[in-house]
Amino acid sequence: MGSRLKIALLLAPALVVIGVLFAGGLVAALVQSLGYFPAIGMTQVNLAAYREILTDGDFLNSLLLTVYVAGASTGISTVLAVLAALTLRRSSGRLSAVVFQLPITVPHLVAAVGISLVVSQTGLGARLAAGLGLIGEPKDFPALLYDRYSIGIILTYVWKETPFVALVVLASLRGVAADLEDVARTLGAGAWQRFWYVVFPVISPGIVAASLIVFAFTFGAFEVPYLLGKTYPTILPVTAYNEYRDIDLSARPIAMAINILIAALTAVFAAAYLRFARDLGRG
């Protein structure tokens, strides 16, 4: 059997699954976003749905909220992860493996429920504040769920994603960085100099790659904002889902157009990530 044929046969099942169920779904979403919906008598192909969402304030608010939630979650997770990795790099690998793996494997819904019971106005945090005499009643505690600043959502993402970024950073810290740092120390570099000129350049590609993944993921994720977010504005995937479930079937092209925009943006992040990962592999 020729090796090209063999490779094609080996790849076929995966390509069929992704090609039909994923790419096929996206193509169907694209077609429907263009207003082609024969099932409900819409056969005119046009860009009305895109025109509508791009000129609509609601969509813009959703987009801004989504970028804000994804950006804040990614930023906070990344900073905390780098700090945690720098602190923990000398400790045993086994403990940090257990501690870090737990949030990674626990489903988002569990994390969201747990965090909400910590930060809600009758949650552990509020009870602690009351115990310390800081607040009298539950309503004195700041509203961190269904709130303007999406604090509950961001906290859940930070809890879930920080360990993931930290593991990537730890991996690169335990590799080349440690050796190079010893060399720098021997040559008389101070702690800050060692971090800024030696450690940081080595770990920064890993940091960028991991935060790209976190940003793209939190940009397109549904469950946590659906559970802990307020009703308006909603983040983009939730907006798409609400439009999709609208009784008025003519809202469907709008839902699909939002899906296509989400897919296009996250695909750009994916391409950027793969570029980085490839360069990392070479370096």
Give me the least distance between CB of 132 and another protein, in Å please. 10
Q: How far is the CB of 240 from another protein (least distance, A)?
A: 7
Question: How far apart are CB 188 and another protein at their closest, in Å?
Answer: 29
Phi-psi region of 266 (alpha: psi -120 to 50; beta: other; left: phi over 0): alpha
Q: Which residues of 57-84 are buried (b: 16+ CB within 10 A; e: fewer)?
A: eebeebbebbeebbebbbebbbebbbeb
Binding of residue 183 to another protein (CB under 8 A): no
Q: Which residue lies nearer to another protein by CB, 48 or 277?
A: 277
Q: Which of residues 44-73 bind another protein (CB under 8 A)?
A: none
Under rule CB under 8 A, which residues in 154-173 are in contact with another protein? 159, 163-164, 167-168, 170-171
The token pair at 136 is: 């009298």
- Letters for 239-268 (x = contact with another protein by CB under 8 A, - = none) are -xx--x----------xx--xx-xx--xx-
Q: Which is nearer to another protein, 50 or 100 (CB)?
A: 100
Q: How many CB atoms lie within 10 A of CB 278?
A: 10
Q: Residues 104-143 vs another protein: string with x where CB under 8 A?
A: xxxxxxxxxxxxxxx---xxx-xxx-xx------x-----
User: For residue 26, which of 249, 240, 277, 203 has the smallest C-alpha distance?
Assistant: 240
How far from the centroid of its chain's Cα atoms is residue 265's Cα? Answer: 13
DSSP state of 221: -
Number of residues that bind another protein (CB under 8 A): 101
